[in-house]
Structure 1
Amino acid sequence: MNAALSLLARGLAGIDVEVQALAGPRAVLVGKRLLLPEGTGEERLRRAMVAHAVAHLRHSTPARLARALKPMGIAVASAIEDARVERLLCRDFPGLHGWFAGSLAPVPDPLDLGFAALVARMDRMLMLPAWQDDNHWVNKARRLFDETIAHAGLEDCDAFRAVASILANDLGQMRVRFEPRDYAVPAPYRDDNSYLWDFGDADTPPDEAIALQQSGALGEGSGHPSAGGMDEMELGRYTYPEWDRKLERLRPDWCTVIEKLPAWQGLTTLREQATADSKRIPPLALPRSRHLDRTHRLRRQWEGDEIDLSAAIEVLIDRRLRLQPDPRLFMRPGKGPRPSSLLVLLDLSASANDAGPHAVSLLDVEKRAALLLAASNTQGIDRLAIHGFSSNTRAEVYYYRLLDFGQPLDAASRATIGAVQGRYSTRMGAALRHATSHLRGEPAGQRAILLVTDGAPSDIDVHDPGYLIEDARQAVAEAREAGVHTACIAVDGAADAYVRRIFGWRNHGIADDVRTLPQRLARMSARLGMLRPG
């Protein structure tokens, strides 16, 4: 069998290629020797392995330095190079296309957005011109690949390396995780790509060399939940619908909200810093909310809708005693305190970590403003909660209860607020629905959500810019029906269009300067406390 495959390789490559058996899961190309895994019984798959190896021998530059690339970049560049050399070989031998196409990896689950699944979908798109895929990144790969063929030709290896760099950067922006030790090239007929790369240390196997670079693959701002070496405690999972603006209906149980507790426990320095900060934070003077409340009656009035029975009895008594009666006999509704609950919802997406023009991040200002508001709670809102959220696709909307209703602002609460980090994206609608569910359990009265954000709703699995805006708008309408008022402060000079669409004309404010956020937060929270419910 190996002799027949060696003859096939020689016929395709025009040079002698030795084919040998290998006790391993995948083909390996070493120089002009092809090692095929034992137990690969299907003849078509073995022929495809040989043809793919020949494509590299004919059209790839071997042993290119890999030290400048991150592991994810190496994997993407390898996949693009595989597709490029196969196209070149099929141009010379058109009948080989069926060998490659018939040996591709099975079609992944459309909901699987892992690295291997995306690469498998890209392989299929680049191999089969008629194949369709609804993933933005996969379609971008095909578009860039075809444009490079049109402008530079298939022979320009460096042009396709540039395509791979763009695609790898996009995956990093999408926060797609890559584990070198767990990754295998999806197409079973393709080799392990060790032929293409020189990792610089002959004593270090390629997989270990890639793994040694893993610390730089995601970067400091990767947003992986375990970044920083601390595990966050999960408190519960909840499912919510999401509005599809094209279908004009709610998708039931579409988003999963995961409540978590920020990993601050054990950080003595954070607790000490929180205690010290509490002594330096001045209180904000917030007016207590007052409403025209018909359950609060003002007695002994000169005029009104009803008779004050107690005052009328005293008039009769004064007349019997021949005393001058008090003519104030009426009652009327009056302004009196009624319970108000405010939930401040902080946008904890990765963009909140970015330093603004004044070298201060929105996240730091959000934390300071939240602490100021909580410290002034006794002078303003009756019940205050501070929560935060971020999202990593609809399956992972992270929700943090930093300070709950009725919880004292002690050192532990301050440390929790101080420890929260900005990660991932901004799936606003799901977070608003979950915040509304928390307010349903609050006493009857004024209940409100005040969202603080720095950008429009977005997530890596949504590429229609209007989709999540309309879903957030629907979530605000659902909150209004539940008796919860919703407002927003956006630290974004270009926010007017989307915040007005989501929250309405009067229910938003825009802070061009992040440093004004504490004052704007105080004023907006006081105004929400004085609004009528609904």
Structure 2
Amino acid sequence: MEEWIGNRWHKFITRRADRGFPAAAVELEAEKKTIGVLFRALGGAPGVRIEAASAQEVFVRRSWLQRLAGSAQSAVIAWQDGDALRLPPLLQVFPQQSLNRDLYLWLAILAARSPQQYRNWALDNQRLVTEALTQFPALRPRYRRLVEALLPLRPAPESLPDDEAELERAIRRALLDPQTATDLPRANRAPQPVPLWLYPQAALDDPLAVAADIPEEGDCTAGSTQSLSERKRGERAEERERRDGLMLFRLENLFSWSEYVNLERSEDDTEDEDAAAAAEDMEKIVLSRQRNQRSSSIRLSLDLPSEAYDDLPLGDGIRLPEWDWHRRRLLEDHVCLQAYYPRNGDPAPLPQHLRRDAALLRSQFEQLRTQRCWLRSQLQGEEIDLKAWADFCASRLAGHAPEPGVYQSFRATHRDMATLLLADLSMSTDAALDEDNRVVDVVRDGLLLCAEALASVGDRFAIYGFSSVRRQQVRFTLFKNFAEPHGDPVRGRLLAMRPGFYTRMGAAIRQATLILRDQPQQKKLLLILSDGKPNDIDRYEGRYGIEDTREALSEARRAGLHPFCITIDRSAEEYLPYLFGQNGFTVLNHPAHLPLRLPELYHQLTH
């Protein structure tokens, strides 16, 4: 009974203390595409993601009702760094949905012009507002509506102490007339957040960023495949001197999850089921640096199999470059790629459950061995090529006399195609799709069926897989090279496919480019199968991995290759357009359909 009354009271008093307008709320997820298009169209970096920000602790004056409810101790503010533009996940500042939607777009406009470092938060925001209104005068009525709707919602200066009242008046002048560049005076308390301005990153530094004096081998540890829904605020805490002895406390003084406890804990890489839920509940994540020497501890990587069970290495490692987007340059010989041959990949026939589909695909693809098509701009042929004739007439009137190839002929041509299929074999492909299948199982079946189709049409093709364990070991598994004919040995190696490790995609694409570039065929297709974005357990995550992969794809295009990605990652539309372009990828909503969809997509790409 007490718990029921307590819950009712909490909901009632929290609702009364809330100064927002829930009925007019607008969600970031519904506006993310529009915000992204506007942000990039006005000059925002293409690699910057649009993400939800988390609540930050604020020290503002609260009303007695807010103090009674224990609310308004934190606020969600908009800020930006090199990786993402972080906006409130829900905007309910104004009583009209149109104004809340306009506020999202206004923040995107400011962020597109925002500097990475703020010298003076208030003056820099006023400068951004002035530049935006000067360059786009049509925004002036919209900005005026936002300011006029915001001012009545802010605290009245008459109700504040003198120093806070002066600060509030300065904010109002800065909002109404940003061209005057009004500086903000100091006050004992912080002002109410200004929803129309971006906040600096300086106070929101990522606590997970590696300090300069930590060696690269200890950059990060492997994390959970789940990610927090919001960006958390962090703080570093210095590790205090450890002393042996008793810890005396009263039982009612036990710490909560969100309080820092200076205890030495054993290091463990296993996933804590409660850690993700605890991190979601925490407003601030506090980290301290362990000062133990590396020689004083032993750390085993249980992901790496022993040599007796691992795949067979082929030769020495290959040194490859990697793009460092922080320095804007290519790091030569930065990555070591090791080729592997699948262990236990004995020759085997096609599995029984795939034989019917394979027979159907072979009968369909055999018809593509020799295609009949129209050859245009020929010196002789069956019909007039109207486009070539129009071009010839225009050139002649312009004073040029090109060779009059104005005919078209319907002839049989041969396919001149080389394809390299590159499969992501990271540990995420070990995830279960249903009771009987994992992601890696449908990837394997898709490659088996695609190999049958390509062999029947006579196209030259190769199949490789990749995964990684930091930059020192990018694993590149050989299933079929271009010189080997398709048969039971290839099928056996595909059946021996195993998932593991991480996704350093840039190095794998560079090696695939080197292999495919040497083929004599005129058309070259690099077909990538992936289930997630590039990542690794060192700094190869976030925008670093995205930018390196994008640079590797640009190198592939300059080499005459056509890269295309097939993915089952439902969030792929947030980053794949930046990597492959709007028409360079496809997302499969049902991963189980991959085995049959893969040959169909190949036919569409090469027809």
TM-score (norm. length: structure 2): 0.48
The AA in structure 2 aligned to 1:164 is R
The residue that corresponds to 1:174 in the other structure is: none
CA distance in structure 2 between the aligned counterparts of 1:449 and 1:345, rounded to whole angstroms? 7
1:392-407 mapped onto 2 (5 Å cutoff): 392-407=469-484
The residue that corresponds to 2:358 in the other structure is: 282
Q: Is the Cα contact below 8 Å between 2:453 and 2:599 reproduced in 1?
A: no
The residue that corresponds to 2:317 in the other structure is: 237
CA distance in structure 2 between the aligned counterparts of 1:156 and 1:490, rounded to whole angstroms? 55
CA distance in structure 2 between the aligned counterparts of 1:450 and 1:187, rounded to whole angstroms? 42
Aligned pair 1:303/2:377, yes or no?
Answer: no
The residue that corresponds to 1:254 in the other structure is: 334
The residue that corresponds to 1:35 in the other structure is: none
- What do the CA deviations read for 1:7-45 (whole angstroms, capped 9, x no partner)? xxxxxxxxxxxxxxxxxxxxxxxxxxxxxxxxxxxxxxx
Q: Is the Cα contact below 8 Å between 1:488 and 1:509 reproduced in 2?
A: yes
CA distance in structure 1 between the aligned counterparts of 2:599 and 2:368, rounded to whole angstroms? 12
CA distance in structure 1 between the aligned counterparts of 2:385 and 2:294, rounded to whole angstroms? 83
CA distance in structure 2 between the aligned counterparts of 1:529 and 1:444, rounded to whole angstroms? 13
Q: Is the Cα contact below 8 Å between 1:342 and 1:525 reproduced in 2?
A: no
The residue that corresponds to 1:375 in the other structure is: 452
Distance 1:525 1:389, change over 3 A: same
Distance 1:257 1:231, change over 3 A: closer
The AA in structure 2 aligned to 1:282 is A
Q: Is the Cα contact below 8 Å between 2:424 and 2:530 reproduced in 1?
A: yes
1:105-184 mapped onto 2 (5 Å cutoff): 110-111=215-216, 113=217, 118=218, 135-136=219-220, 155=247, 164=265, 167-169=268-270
C-alpha displacement at 1:394, in angstroms? 1.1
* SS state at 2:548 partner: helix
CA distance in structure 2 between the aligned counterparts of 1:291 and 1:522, rounded to whole angstroms? 21
Aligned pair 1:477/2:557, yes or no?
Answer: no
Query: Which is greater in Rg?
Result: 1
- What do the CA deviations read for 1:227-283 (whole angstroms, capped 9, x no partner)? 873552324422221111111121111111111101125x5xxx4565756755523
CA distance in structure 1 between the aligned counterparts of 2:326 and 2:582, rounded to whole angstroms? 24
Q: How many residues are paired up?
A: 333
Aligned pair 1:489/2:569, yes or no?
Answer: no
C-alpha displacement at 1:186, in angstroms? 4.6
CA distance in structure 2 between the aligned counterparts of 1:291 and 1:394, rounded to whole angstroms? 48
- What do the CA deviations read for 1:473-506 (whole angstroms, capped 9, x no partner)? 1111111111000010111111111111111100
Which residue, 431, 437, 440 being the options, matches 1:354? 431
The AA in structure 1 aligned to 2:358 is P
The residue that corresponds to 1:468 in the other structure is: 545
Pairwise CA RMSD: 4.3
CA distance in structure 1 between the aligned counterparts of 2:376 and 2:335, rounded to whole angstroms? 40
Distance 1:250 1:278, change over 3 A: same
C-alpha displacement at 1:161, in angstroms? 10
C-alpha displacement at 1:302, in angstroms? 3.4
The AA in structure 2 aligned to 1:435 is A
Distance 1:473 1:330, change over 3 A: closer
C-alpha displacement at 1:136, in angstroms? 3.9
Distance 1:357 1:382, change over 3 A: same
The percent identity for this pair of structures is 27
The residue that corresponds to 1:86 in the other structure is: none
The residue that corresponds to 1:345 in the other structure is: 422
Q: Is the Cα contact below 8 Å between 1:259 and 1:400 reproduced in 2?
A: yes
The residue that corresponds to 2:408 in the other structure is: 332
Distance 1:231 1:381, change over 3 A: closer
CA distance in structure 2 between the aligned counterparts of 1:410 and 1:490, rounded to whole angstroms? 27
C-alpha displacement at 1:170, in angstroms? 6.9
Which residue, 459, 469, 489 being the options, matches 1:412? 489
Q: Is the Cα contact below 8 Å between 2:382 and 2:410 reproduced in 1?
A: no
- What do the CA deviations read for 1:83-110 (whole angstroms, capped 9, x no partner)? xxxxxxxxxxxxxxxxxxxxxxxx9993
CA distance in structure 1 between the aligned counterparts of 2:248 and 2:515, rounded to whole angstroms? 58
Gaps of 5+ in 1: 1-106, 119-134, 172-184, 193-209, 306-328
TM-score (norm. length: structure 1): 0.54
Q: Is the Cα contact below 8 Å between 1:225 and 1:232 reproduced in 2?
A: no
